[in-house]
Structure 1
Amino acid sequence: THFSVYFLTCCFCSHDVLIFLTGQEEIEAVAQQIRILSRDPDVSGPSVKVCPLYASQPTTQQITVFQPAPENTRKVVIATNVAETSITISGIRFVIDGGMVKARTYHPATGLDMLKVQRISQEQSWQRTGRAGREAEGYCYRIYTRAQYELLQKSTIPEIQRANLSTVVIQLLALGIHAANFDFMDKPPKDCVLAAFEQLKLLGAVESVESSSLTPLGKKMVQFPLDPRFSKVILSAQEYECLEEILTIVALLSGEAIFLNPSSKREQATTSRQKFLSPYGDHITLLNAFRVYRNLGSNSQRSWCHEHYINMRNISYAAQVRTQLLEVCQRLKLPVVSCGNDVEPIRKCLLTGLFMNVAELHKEKQYITLDKRQVVNIHPSSVIHGQQPKFVLFTEVVQTSKCYLRGLTTVESQWLYDIVPDYARSHIRLNKDL
């Protein structure tokens, strides 16, 4: 990032630049540095138009990336790997490659599906290089040595070899195929296949890891285009009489984040969303925001989203997903009932499918996952950061300098004993071994 800023303020050329970074926070930080330095009277060269590009960005901002820069202005696009292959940005003559990417990887040994910053492959390195000079001769500056390049993996690991396979396994079982006997184009590791079967067994979708067929519950779960854990949560909502709310939460978790946190207006964004915050965590906070959005007329929704720093595209997508999930529920004849303002049924219902995603407070103010005893921390962006509840349920893990949990709901240990007694007895150790 320091080289990126140096290059842009010192390079004599005025051609457009594409910088590859790992995510929104890093992109916004570098964008701010470049904007500040470009206004410095001691810095020569053309004016600079900075265009961030990442998945959760509003569409109106993404469009600016494809618009030509004004005369005597250099366009600087700062992007995630979304700019590697899926789009072409005209005018780019320089690429600055940081050599890192944020990728989702499942670790059977820890039981965690993590979003982790890691080195790119040599294949990705050349993909990024190819973004320079697609219309004329261009240059790529790699912020890593030749020796580091030689240590990179030759090609990117196929997603099926680094993902949680429970969705794939349950879909194959619905066709009467055991995943261990299936001829995958890219064969996944055996421990990942076994971990998927173990998870499905805990959820009640199969009788055993050797099963080649689904249980009656599993046959219902596979009707939903979801991770089986969330399918189980939806099917359990009938018992807790909160399907209305559970559909909303699952839909919101199925896409990109709805809350925008621009680095230059973080305080205003936080203040504008105070009314939605719940002491019970992020999922109830999301539910509160969606309830307000849904009750607005279509003419008011865009301005409301702008006022509360909510991504209009992402919340609209969640509404569409919710409609699709509702149609599946209606086919299965599930009663769509609301629990109103009582959030306890929602928290209990989430546990029915996500009990493997629970962490217990450590005596040193860190958390330990119940499933595989991994040390984790609450992400600073969570609404319960700093509260230190005894037990939390999580829906996302992010690996940076530490392993952070995002998407949190507070839960009670007794609920685990009530909902999954065998699992609770074998996994809750009440800090005796910590």
Structure 2
Amino acid sequence: MADDLEVLEHLSLVSRVLTELENHLGITEQVVAEFIIDIAEKNPTFDKFKKVMSEQGLNLEDSLLATILRLINTLHPKKKKAAADKLITTIKDEKEDLKKILPALAMPNTNSNDLMGQLEGLMPAAADKLITTIKDEKEDLKKILPALAMPNTNSNDLMGQLEGLMPKWKEEKVKHTDDKVSKRRRSRSRDRRERSRSRSNDRKKRRDRDERSRSRDRESRRRRSRSPRRDEKRRRSREKEVLSEEPEIGKIYNGRIQNITSFGAFVSLEGFRKKVEGMVHISQLKQERVKSVGDVVDRGEKVKVKVLKIEEMPNGSKKMALSMKEVDQITGEDLCPQEAPLAPGAVRSKADQEPEDWMNPDSEAAKASAQGSVTTTGGKRARIRLSTPERWELRQMMGGGAISNMELPDFDEELGVLKDYDDESDGEDVEIELVEDAPAFLKGYDKLSMEMLEPVKVVKNPDGSLAQAALMQSALSKERRDTKIQQQREKDSDRQRGSFGGTSRIHDPMAVTSSRDVDEEDEGSRMMAKGREMPEWLKHITQSSKPTGKRTNLTIKEQRESLPIFNLKQGLMQAIADNQILIVIGETGSGKTTQMTQYLVEMGFAKRGRIGCTQPRRVAAMSVAKRVSEEFGCRLGQDVGYTIRFEDCTSQDTIIKYMTDGMLLRECLLDPDLMTYSCIMLDEAHERTIHTDVLFGLMKAAVKKRPELKLIVTSATLDSVKFSEYFFQAPIFRIPGRTFPVEILYTREPETDYLEGGINTVLQIHLTEPPGDILVFLTGQEEIDTSCEILYERMKKLGSDVPELIILPVYGALPSDQQSRIFEPAPPGTRK
């Protein structure tokens, strides 16, 4: 069975190698594939394989040799078996190493009853050791602190004795520490001597090691028992038990940022029995002005806040205003200690009867008073002049519910929020003088002079040449549209008369109709709707499946070498390697779209990431990807794929990816630096779509962040100098193209209806000119469908003696499969 499986794997390998040879060289002989596989077995490296193939007279491309060698190394049955044996050996070696590192995991399982019996036998010895340890610790503690072993005495005498023993205790502590260090050193030297004497006996060495580890564990447990961390934990737990009920104004608490808004941050206070939250306004975050709350604090961050105000709400809840700028966030110190509140019945001095600036000295009112903007007139209450930004901030705070009307700086108990205009007016009349003299540059353009000038009169001439051309240019399409509308109306009226022809159905709404009649009516309506959706000419095109012709007799390799870019391959690859950004100018048909991506793979860019190429049209991306996959020798969607809107023909192995510029722009939204790509090629840059223009800016920013990213801008008719200046003075590489002669013919007289003239010209070319396809450009989908329908009817009237004309529409609303049909060659004796 294993031998049969190896034979099948070998045949599969021969088939894959034969497919590569047939795609690139047209070789279909199995003996050649067997010969190449035998050479690859004896020469597994690329250099040796290439050298032997050259000696045998098989000069193939490096990409083809690399692909064949990769297939043989991956699919050869002997290589698979060697890799499996190596993996099994590696697993066994790792298992043995794991046994050596962790021998306990390799020990056999023991019975639980035997283990419990051993533990019960060790319990008395462990208890004796524990009692001895506790006694030794107690004696040591008495030596270090003899005052604790003294009988109870008077507190004053005890404090005096303790103060007297303080120097002695320090000396004892230092001496005790030195003794411990010396004991530890002596024990270490003794352990080293014991280890050196017991190297010959492995069993004794393991036993000593286990004993030392157990002693270290006991020592660590003893240290932990004497550590003051337990007392600290108990003290903290007792502090946590004492929780406050309500926050107090002016106190400082620890908190955590719960939520961030545009006007402030909500903070949850710690140390309370129930959940307590307050808001820190944006003006209370820092001393300086803050543009965004997210620049100062983050969600979940621990902060220290001060309670400025607590306000009762009508629904029974409490609203609390907090401040961060009045508290030192490191030490928790109050930077603005507030003034003590007045006792009941106490009267504050006249100097203190200003707005409550003691709460926040950095408030706007306090700043205004410091600058002298608080004015008093005639013994009235001082008013505060606010700037426009300050008033806007107050309105935003009122809208968000942070403050009320009574907390406004200009609030007055007598007038409320009304302004006291009597304070501002001084009783004097203000005279304003208007200058009615016109400036020098507006002389002659005043109102009177403009009225005197007569405007240009526009007169409509219905008999003019422009009006006649505008009326007649779409006469044919308008006539066809009117005819269709009339025919549709007649069909609808006939259907209605047929459906309501019986008087029983009109007068009797409960008339019973057979299911067969209903089914026939539904089938008829569906057929009519289907016929209305798909015209006869379009149905004829979609249903006809005629064999297509052959494009060329050349092999893929000969076609690639015939392109103009092949002669400049080495220079182009050197220019790409030397520059991060390159502007490539090549005429249509030079091969830059299909060949440059394959050159980049040969240079090794596919090992660092994908190679992306953008196209402004969906059909172009699909057709180019299909052609490159044939040249690359793979199936479309594997190594070479494309991505368009609503269709993704790629996989994880895709290294060359063609896509529309909109799809690359969508990827830039998720990954602005394009980390999955090693090279980006912006093709057809002269189209200048919105997506391409935006990609220019994004790619310019990406190449700054990623020096290893390559950017190539290609076009046929591009203003290369301007784009080179835009992309940091990038070099320009020109590729000569192959141009075909174009003959321009004009009509003797202007055409009154260009659609009629275009259809007549198509028929004239089809009937008189030699073989060749025809391409007609029109202004929209409606004109394209109308011209296709007219051509189909006229060709149908001419009969079967005339050569067939295949009519294929192309516009953006068509599905991708119908758009791609224009690239299929026409069968012999026909014309597209």
User: One fold, TM greater than 0.5?
Assistant: no
* TM-score, normalization by structure 1: 0.27
Name which structure has the greater RCO, CA cutoff 8 Å, separation 6+: 1
As a proportion of its length, which structure holds more helix? 2
